[in-house]
Amino acid sequence: MTPTASRLPLAFKLAYTAFVAVLVPTYWHHYGPGNFLYFCDLALLITGVAIWLESAVLVSACAVGILVPQVLWMLEFLLTGLGWPITGMTAYMYEPSIPWFTRFLSFFHFWQPPVLVWLLWRLGYDRRGLAVWWPIGWAAMTVSYLWLPPPPAPPDQPGLPVNVNFVFGLDGQGSQTWMPPHLYFCLLLVALPALLWWPSHWLLSRLPALKRPHP
């Protein structure tokens, strides 16, 4: 048995896998396959693979990609509940036409960040995470831009994935109009690595507690 083979408890691996096994068919049924192009959902699935492989590089990639966006999701959710939405990204959580259990599963946005940090503490941060996440993120954005619909979602399908990863604008209720769509998309391809992914990588790679695996 390798030194890292027991760094993650079997009970955790089974519980995480069971959650994903429930979420995937539920989301597929209510939202469709396009929903899995969201960075948070991609990270959820990749982390599921990472915990069985005990792969520091895959966990690091997910952390680089979604730690900051998840914090923004949580803030948006709370502000929407207070009646002060910013982007509308969490409006679906308050949509009564979407089954409550489907919305309940989306609370993984709250526990995913601390779970990733815990995994990094157990496995260590791998500096290759940025290089792994970058093409994954760009690929998800490109598919979302070319083949998924712009906002808003139709009234009869409030949970339909639209404006996935904000490729059409920062407002979930409509596409941006202050520049040509292709130009906005190209700027987003540059802005996310520069403003979110690289700074996350820089910070995680410098935290002493994440520089080596822990027993």
Q: What is the pLDDT of residues 63-75, one digit of tens each?
A: 999 999 999 999 9
Specify the pLDDT at position 1. 40
pLDDT for the residue 43: 98
pLDDT value, residue 157: 84
Instruction: Compute the average pLDDT of residues 166-189.
Output: 92
Q: In the 8-state DSSP scheme, what is residue 127?
A: T
Q: What is the mean pLDDT of the chain?
A: 92
pLDDT of residue 6: 65
Residues 90-123: tens digit of each pLDDT: 888 998 989 999 999 999 999 999 999 999 999 9
Residue 5 has pLDDT above 60, yes or no: no
pLDDT value at residue 4:
43
